[in-house]
A and B are shown apart, each in its own frame.
Chain A
Amino acid sequence: MRTYLLGAVLAALALPAEANKVFVSNERGNTVTVIDSDSWEVIAEFPAGNRPRGITISPDGTRVYVCASDDNLVRVFDAETYEELPSLPSGPDPELFVLHPSGNPLYIANEDDNLVTVTDVETRQVLAEVPVGVEPEGMGISPDARFVVNTSETTNMAHFIDTADYAIKHNVLVDQRPRYAQYSADGSKLFVTSEIGGTVSVMEIDDDGAPELVHKIGFEVPGVLPEWLQPVGAKITRDGKWLFVALGPANRVAVVDAKSYEVTDYIMVGQRVWQMDFTPDEQFLITTNGNSNDVTVIDVAAKKALRSIQVGQQPWGVIVQPDM
């Protein structure tokens, strides 16, 4: 608690951006690797349960949440000491989750059970289980927190779950194997990646939160078979200008003009690029590369890969600690 207050005071003084911790879940290594975003050195690696995949952090930057898929729970770690805190119930096989912007609750996709589980992170109680399509995976939340979007990989839908009553209000069919859902910061657009379909579906969101499918972004890289251009993770800059799309086995991150939907660039990264996260100042984007066991640091403005950093075995997810 004391650390937290000190952090708040420091942030209030508006000091230049401090180094942030980058937490990377290693699916096969059963660990989380911690990287310093200033020196880009690995500063720690700690056990994180069995098959850690989805990873996120509380808005105050103190608690790291990890989907320990094979333990059927969400493990919680102190972001400072890496000490394990009491776990959260998640339902079976949690893969990805999204935290309410307030820090509570947590919305968790249960891949084997066709459910989204809603868990209160303070009381550690399950608040609701929402039946969704087959193999739920991607989880996004609208900036106003009215809707949680879940993508189901075998049903091929984006399900819009009303956070007030946990009822699904909209379903949108997208291309094969949707993996990730990302709202723009102003909530006016939603991007859903389809790994096997090879596309990103763009939806415009109206004032009531209702989606309309308006475009599908495709990808093309000379010398790479179209089958290997498989969109997985996606992140958009706060100003809504640039969408970055991880293309899995194509070993590239696509840079998309988020207004015109034109792909302007492909950045070579490590092998089987999966998930991504920005540093809080959006100067850097970090990608997990599952088959080369490293992460790539991308200079967002220059749209260039700067360096790669070895992490644990089969890195899956990444989250950057907010400024403290």
Chain B
Amino acid sequence: MRLIVPLAAAAFGLASACMAADLRTGVLRVDYPSVPPVTRLDARPSDLGFAGAALAQEDNATTGGFMGHGYALETVAVAPEGADAALDALLAEGIGTLVILARDADLLRLADRAGPEVLVLNAAARGTALRDGDCRANVLHVTPSVAMLADAAVQFAAWKKWTRLYLIHGSNPQDLALAEAYRRAAARFGARIVEEREFEDTGGARRTDSGHVMVQRQLPVFTQDAREHDVVIAADASDVFARYLPFHLWDPRPVIGSAGLQPVSFDPALEAWGATQFQRRFEALTGRRLAEADYDTWLALRVLGEAVTRTGSADPATLRAYALSEEFELAAFKGQKVTFRPWNGQLRQPVLLFDGRITASVSPQEGFLHQVSPLDTLGLDAPDSACGAFGGG
């Protein structure tokens, strides 16, 4: 005899103890026109982010089944010019919690358009300014900032005593911002940038279009005659050249940053801290490996789910207050609880260092101490952040 106990019966125990809370969340993804990635292994799956949302929806709904809480999810992918209208449509349905995957400027505009009553979780925009002077009280940042990622990478280099850095950055604004984050990180953790070069993005006629033969000839020439260095830092947010650097440098050195050893919020190889189960559940549900945007979106929705579970409320202001409170903590398959920084709404979290096949290390590194949490050695600490929207923290 095989007895399948229905979930309704399973939920019986708590039915009387809980009030009903129903949370409806929109996941809004802005899709930008882009050239194909340098490597086809970096191709964007069409369900990027949404796949993580689907897993989080299952997780939240399962827990909600025991608590008497309901969860509904609406996912929208839209071109940049349609983003405002898509946002308006979600808000018109009465949705008060949003996970947004968009670039910095669009995230900011959409958050302002949504207004202070709406709680926005940022799952893709990594600009440090959004956690600094451009912060917004209604935005919680689940995805790590560029500063956190750069700090994580440079801490590792410093731990290795690779303190002479050769910084190669792209020429687009986001590349320059990334380069700046590496300069700041170097200064914070006792490393020095001994050489710095810009790899110009020449648009359609990429230097690398000619294939591997040209890459093999040109990159050594581009990187030669640099001052003595221990490691190359690649700052290529535009995906133009960094992937070509390993094995094509003039001097044989490891590459860290946009290629080689990359700081990421999550990687599909991680097995520690119960991550194996998480990866398997994701793969069984979606049929592919997890990407960072999936993790960031999953985590954003889990933040909401955890806040609903603990407060019994679906009110955006209540959820925001709980997320920012001392009581909030969440397990995120990274070995320690994640919490929010009260000064700028950034989620404190470890940053993984991924070489494309394995999780080579996890920052913060041993020995980098902080009076509150070692996690606050990554990114903007309270005194560093000009954010005033959170009441000064």
A177 proximity list for chain B (CB < 8 A): 274, 331
**Choice from B331, B336, B374 contacting A154 with Cβ under 8 Å:** B331
B274 proximity list for chain A (CB < 8 A): 135, 153, 177
Q: A30 contacts the other chain (Cβ, under 8 Å)?
A: no
B66:A155 contact, CB within 8 angstroms? yes
Q: B358 contacts the other chain (Cβ, under 8 Å)?
A: no
A173:B309 contact, CB within 8 angstroms? yes
Q: Once the chains are docked, how many angstroms separate the CA of A166 from the CA of B58?
A: 23
CB-CB contacts of B155-179 with A at 8 A, as 1s and 0s? Answer: 0000000000000000000000000
Q: Once the chains are docked, how many angstroms separate the CA of A53 from the CA of B305?
A: 30
B1:A154 contact, CB within 8 angstroms? no
Main SS at interface, chain B: helix
B13:A153 contact, CB within 8 angstroms? no
A189 proximity list for chain B (CB < 8 A): none
In whole Å, how far is B302's beta carbon from the nearest beta carbon of chain A?
8
A154 proximity list for chain B (CB < 8 A): 59, 63, 302, 331
Main SS at interface, chain A: loop
B65 proximity list for chain A (CB < 8 A): 131
Q: A263 contacts the other chain (Cβ, under 8 Å)?
A: no
Q: Once the chains are docked, how many angstroms separate the CA of A166 from the CA of B10?
A: 9
CB-CB contacts of A166-195 with B at 8 A, as 1s and 0s? Answer: 111111010111000000000000000001
Total contacting residues, chain A, CB less than 8 A: 41
The stretch of B248-256, B259-267, B276-284, B316-324 that contacts the partner chain? B276-284
A93 proximity list for chain B (CB < 8 A): 277, 280
A155:B63 contact, CB within 8 angstroms? yes
B13:A176 contact, CB within 8 angstroms? no
Segment 99-137 of A: residues with Cβ below 8 Å from B: 111-112, 114, 125-135
B63:A157 contact, CB within 8 angstroms? yes
B310:A169 contact, CB within 8 angstroms? no
Given A160-B13, A176-B331, A155–B62 Cβ distance below 8 Å? yes
A153:B331 contact, CB within 8 angstroms? yes
In whole Å, how far is B57's beta carbon from the nearest beta carbon of chain A?
12
Given A131-B10, A197-B329, A176–B337 Cβ distance below 8 Å? yes
Given A160-B13, A168-B12, A133–B277 Cβ distance below 8 Å? no
B3:A166 contact, CB within 8 angstroms? yes
Q: Once the chains are docked, how many angstroms separate the CA of A166 from the CA of B12?
A: 12
A131 proximity list for chain B (CB < 8 A): 5-7, 10, 62, 65
A127 proximity list for chain B (CB < 8 A): 1-3
Complex: chain A residue closest to B281, CB-CB: A112
A interface residues, Cβ below 8 angstroms from B: 93, 111-112, 114, 125-135, 152-157, 159-160, 166-171, 173, 175-177, 195-198, 225, 227-228, 249
Pairs A–B under 8 Å by Cβ, sample size 16: A93-B280, A112-B284, A128-B5, A131-B10, A133-B62, A133-B63, A135-B281, A154-B302, A155-B63, A155-B66, A167-B5, A167-B12, A197-B329, A197-B337, A225-B374, A227-B335
B interface residues, Cβ below 8 angstroms from A: 1-7, 9-14, 58-59, 62-63, 65-67, 274, 277, 280-281, 284, 302, 306, 309-310, 329-331, 335-337, 373-374
